[in-house]
């Protein structure tokens, strides 16, 4: 039986052998049966047709050198096969191995069918078949390589045009690739970056980036983070590190490299910070507002509970502020509130929190209180300082303050409870004649008069 007839008559068997071999290729694991057999039928049928055609001596010589034109149908199928295998993730070795297996299987099965006595007459078919397979392989690899080169060129163009910083790191942290945006950010040419680590380049974020890189290498999973780059214009960037995984044979996947993409978020972070500040700080005095005060107080209480410490909460209401605001106007009232805020801040430690609750009401959280006398000393200092005249729009203004005090854990355990109890104590100070400090207790309240200085 001639080889061309054998191919046509046993096409399904040959395709089955092709399919069996494809199953042994890692990159073919995700392909279905149609995908594994892709273009094989067309290539084999085109080769069979070519084997039926007589060859001149000149054609034989040209084909032996790979120079003669082949059946265009086979060329097209081989070219498409190469592109599809690249898309499927085949390596060049895997693509070549398919043709090697096809060659061996066709000839092995055919030799079983022919009469041994007629074997010498089959030599021409074998030579032409090998030439056809070689040419199909050449066409397939050429299309594979051309497609890959085009993909590489397109990728480089995209990365070069991207405003995002894109880079590739070796598992040990060396830069293998950086795009133009990354080189611009680092203010260095590519040649001074490739092969270097962030430590070599003296970047202040080197340690944190290296930790995250090692996490990606060890886990094989992506990582998202942020870093600040202070060597240039002080940009803040967010980035993602993604592993490039390779698998060889039965060995588990390994991280061959790590791709990083970073984006400048300086303006976005500034806007977020501004938005957060506006939501948590009083616009007039720039003190923490009620929301932030309660949040900080909650954190202080957790710390106090662990450390078995006391906390004092003061609720301060200004005496005489309404008269100033009504007689001198809102502008004067605003100036006075800002001056009051600063004086209260000057009376406490940086670790304490001063907040404006609204209107002419302020609160103070005193941390790590060791004795009641400590609270009274601060309260007396605040009331004494607030009694001193203020210069408001070139006019001396004098006010005072009524202060209520609640302590943790004696008067309450929750932030809202402590603030409410301190507020109630403040009203007792008001009723006692103003310019007073009222201490709340679990069983009684003591009103202490503060002499005006």
Where is the domain boundary, 237, 265, 293? 265
Ranges under pLDDT 50 in the chain: 70, 73-74, 442-453
DSSP string spanning 190-233? Answer: GGGTTT--TTTTT-TTHHHHHHHHHHHHHH-S-EEEEEEE-SSS
What whole-number distance in Å separates Cα of residue 327 and Cα of residue 343? 23
Residues 133, 168, single domain; the answer is no
The candidate with the shortest Cα–Cα distance to 108, out of 94, 93, 124, 126, is: 126
- Please list, in sequence order, all residues whose beta carbon lies within 8 angstroms of the beta carbon of residue 306, skipping any fewer than 6 positions away: none
pTM over 0.75: no
* Shared domain check, 319 and 332: yes
Secondary structure (H, E, C), 85-136: HHHCCCCHHHHHHHHHHHHHHHHHHHHHHCCHHHHHHHHHHHHHHHHHHHHH
Nearest-CA neighbor of 259 among 176, 188, 181, 155?
176
Same domain? For 95 and 147 the reply is yes
413 in the same domain as 292: yes
The tokens for 235 are 């940009």
**What pLDDT was estimated at residue 74?**
46
Predicted confidence (pLDDT) per residue in 106-147, tens digit: 888 888 887 766 666 677 777 777 777 777 777 777 776 776
Q: For residue 435, what pLDDT is reported?
A: 92
What percent of the chain clears pLDDT 70, i.e. is strictly above it?
Answer: 80
Q: Which of 224, 291, 231, 289 is nearest to 263 (CA)?
A: 224
pLDDT of residue 114: 76
**Domain at 306, CATH number:** 3.30.70.270
Same domain, 79 and 219: no
* Cβ–Cβ < 8 Å for 346, 429: no
pLDDT of residue 434: 86
Q: Are residues 56 and 130 in the same domain?
A: yes
Handedness of CA 114, 118, 120, 125 (dihedral sign): negative
- Residue 14 counted as domain residue: yes
User: pLDDT value at position 161?
Assistant: 66
67 C-beta neighbours (distance < 10 Å), count: 10
Nearest Cα to Cα of residue 408 among 352, 351, 377, 368: 368
Q: What residue numbers bound the domain in which 301 lies?
A: 281-449
Nearest-angstrom CA–CA distance, 255 and 198? 19
Do 362 and 315 sit in the same domain of this protein?
yes
Q: Are residues 76 and 184 in the same domain?
A: no
Among 116, 137, 160, identify where a domain stops: 160
pLDDT of residue 448: 45
Question: Which two three-digit tokens encode residue 325?
Answer: 């605001």
Question: Would you list the DSSP string of 252-297?
Answer: PPEEEEEEEEEEE-HHHHHHHHHHHHHHHB-TTT--B-HHHHHHHH
What pLDDT is stored for residue 453 in this prediction? Answer: 38
Examine the fold and report which residue of 234, 265, 296 is the final residue of a domain before the chain moves on. 265
Give the pLDDT of residue 408.
93
The CATH number of the domain holding residue 89 is 1.10.490.70
The answer to whether residue 65 is domain-embedded is yes
Tally of structural domains, the chain:
3
**d(Cα 415, Cα 423) in Å, to the nearest integer?**
12
Q: Are residues 197 and 225 in the same domain?
A: yes
**CATH code for the domain of 222:** 3.30.450.20
Handedness of CA 103, 105, 108, 111 (dihedral sign): negative
- In this structure, the answer to whether residues 141 and 98 fall within a common structural domain is yes
Looking at the structure, do residues 232 and 86 belong to the same domain, yes or no?
no
Report how far residue 143's alpha carbon sits from residue 66's, in angstroms, rounded to the nearest whole number: 16
Q: Which residues contact 102 (CB under 8 A, 6 or more apart)?
A: 14, 18, 21, 40, 44, 133
Could you give the count of Cα atoms lying within 13 Å of 259 in the half-sphere of its Cβ?
Answer: 9
Q: Are residues 119 and 232 in the same domain?
A: no
- Residue 362 host element (H or E): strand 361-369
Preceding omega of 409 cis (within 30 degrees of 0): yes
Give me the residue label for tokens 């060890």.
218
């Amino acid at each position: 039986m001639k080889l061309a007839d054998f191919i046509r008559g046993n096409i399904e068997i040959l395709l089955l052998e092709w399919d069996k071999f494809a199953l042994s290729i890692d990159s073919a694991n995700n392909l279905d049966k149609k995908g594994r057999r892709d273009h094989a039928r067309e290539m084999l049928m085109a080769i069979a047709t070519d084997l039926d055609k007589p060859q001149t001596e000149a054609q034989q010589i040209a084909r032996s050198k790979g120079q003669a034109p082949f059946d265009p149908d086979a060329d097209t199928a081989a070219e498409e096969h190469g592109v599809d295998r690249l898309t499927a993730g085949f390596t060049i070795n895997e693509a070549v191995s398919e043709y090697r297996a096809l060659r061996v299987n066709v000839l092995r099965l055919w030799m079983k069918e022919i009469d041994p006595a007629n074997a010498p007459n089959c030599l021409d078919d074998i030579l032409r078949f090998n030439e056809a397979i070689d040419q199909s392989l050449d066409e397939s690899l050429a299309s594979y390589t051309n497609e890959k080169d085009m993909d590489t060129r397109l990728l480089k163009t995209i990365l070069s045009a991207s405003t995002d910083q894109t880079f590739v790191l070796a598992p040990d942290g060396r830069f293998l690739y950086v795009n133009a945006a990354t080189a611009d950010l680092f203010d260095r040419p590519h040649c001074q970056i490739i092969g270097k680590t962030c430590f070599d380049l003296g970047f202040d974020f080197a340690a944190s980036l290296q930790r995250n890189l090692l996490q990606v290498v060890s886990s094989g999973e992506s990582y998202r983070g942020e870093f600040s780059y202070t060597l240039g214009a002080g940009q803040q960037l967010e980035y993602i590190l993604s592993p490039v995984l390779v698998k060889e044979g039965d060995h588990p996947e390994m991280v061959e490299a790590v791709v990083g993409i970073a984006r400048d978020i300086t303006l976005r972070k500034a806007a977020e910070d501004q938005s957060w500040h506006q939501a948590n700080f009083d616009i007039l005095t720039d003190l923490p507002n009620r929301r932030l005060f309660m949040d900080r107080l909650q954190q202080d209480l957790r710390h106090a509970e662990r450390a078995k410490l006391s906390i004092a909460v003061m609720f301060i209401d200004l005496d005489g502020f309404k008269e100033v605001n009504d007689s001198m106007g809102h502008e004067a009232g605003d100036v006075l509130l800002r001056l009051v805020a600063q004086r209260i801040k000057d009376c406490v430690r940086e670790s304490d929190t001063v907040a404006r609750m609204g209107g002419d009401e302020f609160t103070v959280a005193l941390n790590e209180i060791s004795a009641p006398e400590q609270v009274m000393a601060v309260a007396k200092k605040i009331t004494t300082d607030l009694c001193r005249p203020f210069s408001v729009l070139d006019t001396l203004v004098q006010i005072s303050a009524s202060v209520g005090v609640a302590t943790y854990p004696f008067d309450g355990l929750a932030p809202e409870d402590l603030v409410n109890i301190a507020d109630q104590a403040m009203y007792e100070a008001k009723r006692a004649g103003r310019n007073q400090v009222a201490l709340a207790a679990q069983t009684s309240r003591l009103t202490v008069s503060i002499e005006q200085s």
